[in-house]
């Protein structure tokens, strides 16, 4: 498996649309024990990415991701902006000036993004954050790809794992963010960050084959 700039742009575009389309849902999830601004912050940040889509750097994958990161950090409020922005910056740094990445490079990019989130959010798996869905999903993606699986199958598996992992945040006690102030009252609630990651993986997986088919068609015209 390789990933082109077009593939990376597709993933980012899908993530952005998921954030905008699910603003209400993510806000409702956050309002249970948080301050309710997660959905709004995510939507405004990714809305700005879509609004400036044509102006993003297309010279390299790294430049593209860093442009997205800059937009996100400038427009996404709360703690979400720094966390998502850091993840995108770390991914962009790994991608560098390349316009196409091999499988190992794609995985390194994802793990760098995760490490950025860990460091910026001072959190890890088990703290009831987006990492509780993101880390298992990337682990599943890595396992499928390294075993020779097709990208579509790997993404479908990652989406299933992310959804199951997000649901598994319900019995956890929140240890980071505004939800942590609720203490034991956070038990029984779904972490909005994990839910957002799961929905993003679901949407990417659902439309990946269409994206690849369209890209192949354009390449042969």
pTM of the model: 0.93
Q: What is the CATH number of the domain that holds 122?
A: 1.25.40.340
Residue 176 or 199, more confident: 199
Question: Does residue 218 surpass a pLDDT of 80?
Answer: no
pLDDT of residue 221: 35
Number of independent structural domains in the chain:
1
Total length of the chain: 221
Residue 214 lies in a domain: no
Residue 55 lies in a domain: yes
For residue 101, give the H/E element and its range. strand 100-102
Q: Give the H/E segment covering residue 100.
A: strand 100-102
Query: Has residue 219 been placed in a domain?
Result: no
DSSP codes joined into one string, 8-75: HHHHHHHHHHHHHHTHHHHHHHHHTTS-S-HHHHHHHHHHHHHHTGGGS--S-HHHHHHHHHHHHHHH
Which tokens in the block code for residue 38? 């997660």
Q: What is the domain range of residue 61? A: 2-206
pLDDT category, 215, cuts 50, 70, 90? confident
215 lies in a domain? no
In a domain, 86, yes or no: yes
Tens-digit pLDDT profile for residues 103-140: 999 999 999 999 999 999 999 999 999 999 999 999 99
Residue 83 lies inside a defined structural domain of this protein: yes
The pLDDT assigned to 220 comes to: 39
- Please state the separation of Cα 11 from the chain's center in Å: 9
CA distance 139 to 123: 18
Q: What pLDDT does residue 25 have?
A: 95
| Cβ-contact 40, 76 below 8 angstroms | no
Residue 140 lies in a domain: yes
Asked if residue 213 belongs to a domain, the reply is: no
d(CA 129, CA 176): 7
Locate 7 and state its tokens: 């593939």
Per-residue DSSP letter, 185: G
| CA nearest to 11, candidates 101, 118, 139 | 101
The dihedral over CA atoms of 149, 153, 155, 157, expressed in degrees to the nearest 10, equals -100
Tokens of 46: 């990714």
């Amino acid at each position: 498996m390789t990933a082109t700039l077009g593939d990376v742009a597709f993933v980012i575009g899908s993530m952005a649309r998921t954030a905008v389309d699910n603003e209400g849902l993510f806000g409702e999830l956050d309002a249970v024990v948080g301050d309710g601004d997660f959905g709004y912050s995510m939507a405004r940040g990714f809305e700005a990415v879509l609004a400036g889509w044509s102006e993003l750097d297309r010279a390299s994958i790294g430049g593209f991701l860093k442009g997205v990161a800059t937009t996100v950090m400038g427009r996404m409020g709360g703690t979400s902006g720094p966390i998502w922005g850091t993840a995108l910056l770390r991914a962009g740094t790994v991608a560098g000036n390349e316009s196409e990445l091999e499988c190992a490079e794609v995985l390194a990019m994802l793990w760098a993004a995760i490490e950025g989130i860990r460091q910026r959010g001072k959190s890890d798996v088990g703290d009831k954050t987006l990492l509780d869905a993101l880390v298992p999903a990337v682990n599943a993606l890595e396992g499928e790809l390294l075993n020779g699986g097709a990208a579509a199958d790997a993404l479908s598996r990652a989406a299933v794992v992310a959804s199951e992992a997000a649901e598994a945040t319900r019995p956890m006690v929140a240890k980071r963010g505004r939800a942590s102030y609720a203490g034991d009252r956070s038990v029984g609630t779904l972490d909005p960050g994990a839910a957002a990651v799961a929905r993003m993986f679901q949407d990417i997986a659902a439309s990946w084959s269409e994206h690849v088919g369209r890209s192949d068609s354009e390449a042969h015209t």
